[in-house]
Structure 1
Amino acid sequence: MQNIIKYLLIASCFALLIACEKEGTNRYSYDANLISMIISDNANLSQLDAANKRTELHDMLLQEGPFTQLAPSDDAFTTDVNTIGLSRLTNIMRYHVLNGVYDFNKLPFQFNQEIYSYTGGKMFVTKWTKGVDTVITINGAIITPVMKDAKNGKIQVINRVLEPYLFDYLSEVVGNEYDITLFNQVLERVPAVRSLLQKEGAYTIYAPNNAAMVSYGYSTLEIINEKPVEELERLVRYHIVPDRRFVYDYVLTTPTSGNTNVTTTETMLNGDNLTLTLVFNSGTGTYNKITLLGTRNTTETNLTRENILAGNGVLHIIDQVLLH
C-alpha cells in the first residue's frame, strides 16, 4: 500500500512538473498587450495574423523584444497568405520585423534613409513634408497614422506588403527577371554600364519587357549581339536614373494641387530628361501611378511592375522602350 501511495505521489509531481513547463513555455500567450496578441485581436490585420502564425513570427513576437512589427493591413495583401509557399512567406514576414522600437513620426529620417530588418535586410525610409502633411514611406509604401504600443514593442500599419530584396546588385536582379531577358542581353553587351550596377550606390532602372523590346526591333539575342555597343549603351543609359526612386517618391517631391494629372522630369544616366506624369485617381483621391514619356515617344509608357528592390537600387518594368 505504501508503494502504491509513493508511486501516486511521484506521478502527481511529474504531472505537475509537465504542467508547469507548459505554462512556462506559453507564459506570454495570455498577455493581451503583446504584439502577436494585439494583431490576433484586430480584424483589419487578419491576413498578417495568419501569415505570422504560419511562420515562426507569431511565437517570436510573444517574446520580450522589443520589436517593431510593420503591419500591412488586410487591404495591402493582394494574395491570400495561405496560398503562398512557406519558405517565401517566411522571408516576407521576417522582413516586416525590426529590432527595437521605431516611432517613425518622431525620428528625423532623410530621403530614403537605410534601416534594417531584424534579419539584416535593408529598407529605405523617407520623411517628407508636403503642404500641411508629413508623409512617411518605407520602400515606397506609406506608413499610415495607425500605430499601437505593445508591451514588447510597437505595431505600425503600412499600406503595402514589402517584398524583401534577394540580390545585392541590380545587375543580378535584371538577370533573374524572366520578362526582361532581351533587355538583360543588351545590358550584358554594355560592360561599362553593367559594372556600375554591380557596385555600391543607388540607381533606378526602367527596363522594357520582352514584348516592348520585340516591338522596338530587338526581337532576338542574335539581333542584339549584332548591334554596335555604342548604340546599345545609348539605349540603356536612357533607361537608368542615377539615384534610387520608388514610384511614390515622385508623388512626394512633385508639387501637386487640385485633382488633375501633374508632370515632372527626371534626368537619366545619359544626361537627357524623361517626362513623368503623376496620374490622379479620382476614385481614391490620390496619385497612385506614374507614366513615362521619352523625348521621341508618341505614347505614354506604363509600369507593368514596380518597386523591385535590390541592395543598390530599384527596378521597374515598363511596356515600351524609351526613345530619346
Structure 2
Amino acid sequence: MKHYSLYSIPFLLFFAYSCNSTVSEIEPKDNNTLHQVVRDNFGLQFLATSLHKTGISKTLIEAGPFTLLASSDQAFKDAGYKDPAAVYMEDASKLELITKYHILKSELIISKVKMGYNQPLETLLGTEAYLSKVLYGKDTMLTINGSIVLQLDTKASNGMMQVINNLLLPNAHKNLLDGLSAISDLSLFYQALKSSGITEQWKPNEKFTIYAPNNIAMRNAGYSSLEQIVETPKEKLIDLVEWHICKDQKFKQDYQFLATEGKDIYSEKSLNNKDIPISIQNHWRDRRIVDKLSMRIGSQYIQPTKYDIITGTGIIHIIGRTFN
C-alpha cells in the first residue's frame, strides 16, 4: 500500500477533482463554460484549484456573461505558491477575495476596447481592476493592473477569458489613507500625510501614486515617532509628503509605456513640482516587462521594496528612504 504525506493530500484531491467529476460538482451540459475552459487548460492548474477550493467554479458555469482574468501557473509560482497543493492549503477567505477580484461582472472583449490608460473594470469583489491598451513601438500592449495580458479574448459560452502574467492583489482599501493605515510599516508616513491636511483638498475621484517611505526611512529622516510628527509644523509636513506623491495612478508597468520610445527613463513630477527621474529596469527575457524602478534624487537611487498596492484612489509603492 502506498503512503502519502499530509501535504500531498490536497494535491491528490485536486487531481481527483480534475479527472473525475463524481468527486466534486456535477458537470453542466454545456462543456464550454469558463469553468470548463479553465479545467481543460493545462497551464491553469493553480487557478483551477483556487476556483474549486473557494466554490467560485460554480459561478463560472452560470449564464453570466463574465470575464475571467486568468493568472497563469507561473504567475501563481511568482506569488509564492509552489504547486496547486499550496493553493489548496491557503486560507479560504483570503483565496476567495483574490479569486473574486479576478472575475469581471461583464464580458470584456479587449480587441474591441479603445486605446487608453487604466480604464476601470468592475470585479465580482465589488472593486475595480484597470485595463491599459497602449501603443509601444509598433505593438499594442495590454495590461490589467500593470500585468501583461499573455493571451486575450478566449471565448467561452458564458464570457471571455484573458490570461495574465501576475496574480492580482485585490483592491481592499477605499482610498489611499485607508491603504496606508492598513500597513503597519507605513504608520509614520501615514501620520505625516494625515497631519499635513492635504488629502482634505483632494477631489473624490482624483487618483494619485504615492512612493511611501517605510518607518525606518522616516526615522532616518528625523521623524522618530507619531507624537513628533503631530507636533511638526504643517508646512514642513506638506513639503515632505507632496514630494512623495504624483498625480494619476501608475502601476510599475505603466512607466515603460510612458517613457520615450527607446529610452528606459521617465521624468515624473511630484505634487510640490519637483522632478523625480525614474529609471526602468526590464526583464532580461522580455524588454516589455518591467522588473524594477529606481528613483534618482540627487546622487541617490531609491528602489521600491514593494510595488502596486492598489486602493480606490490610487497606487502605493513602498520605498526604503525619503526623497528629501
1:15 maps to: none
1:217 is aligned to 2:227: no
1:289 maps to: 292
1:18 maps to: none
Q: Is the 8 A contact 2:296 2:302 kept in 1?
A: yes
1:300 maps to: 301
1:94 maps to: 100
2:26 alignment partner AA:
N
Cα distance between partner residues in 1 of 2:75 and 2:27? 32
SS at 2:68 equivalent: strand
1:58 maps to: 57
1:158 alignment partner AA:
I
Aligned length: 293
1:104–1:276 CA distance, 2 compared to 1 (3 A): same
Cα distance between partner residues in 2 of 1:222 and 1:59? 51
Structure 1: give runs of 5+ residues left out of the alignment: 1-21
1:144-201, CA deviations, whole angstroms, 9 ceiling, x for partnerless residues? 235422122221101111112122211111111111111112112211x132458321
Cα distance between partner residues in 2 of 1:102 and 1:92? 19
What TM-score do the two structures reach when normalised by structure 1?
A: 0.84
Q: Is the 8 A contact 1:169 1:199 kept in 2?
A: no
What TM-score do the two structures reach when normalised by structure 2?
A: 0.84
1:124 is aligned to 2:127: no
Q: Is the 8 A contact 2:258 2:266 kept in 1?
A: no
1:199 maps to: 204
Cα distance between partner residues in 1 of 2:74 and 2:58? 24
Shift of 1:46: 0.7
In terms of mean alpha carbon deviation, does 143-152 or 40-49 score higher? 143-152
1:277 maps to: 279
In terms of mean alpha carbon deviation, does 124-133 or 56-65 score higher? 56-65
Q: Is the 8 A contact 2:34 2:61 kept in 1?
A: yes
Q: Is the 8 A contact 2:150 2:163 kept in 1?
A: yes
Shift of 1:101: 2.1
1:153 is aligned to 2:159: yes
1:163-242 aligned within 5 A: 163-191=169-197, 193-196=198-201, 199-242=204-247
Q: Is the 8 A contact 1:197 1:203 kept in 2?
A: no
Q: Which runs of 4+ in 1 moved over 6 A?
A: none
SS at 1:225 equivalent: helix
**Higher gyration radius (CA):** 1
Give me the CA root mean square deviation. 2.0
1:32-60, CA deviations, whole angstroms, 9 ceiling, x for partnerless residues? 32211221122210110000001121111
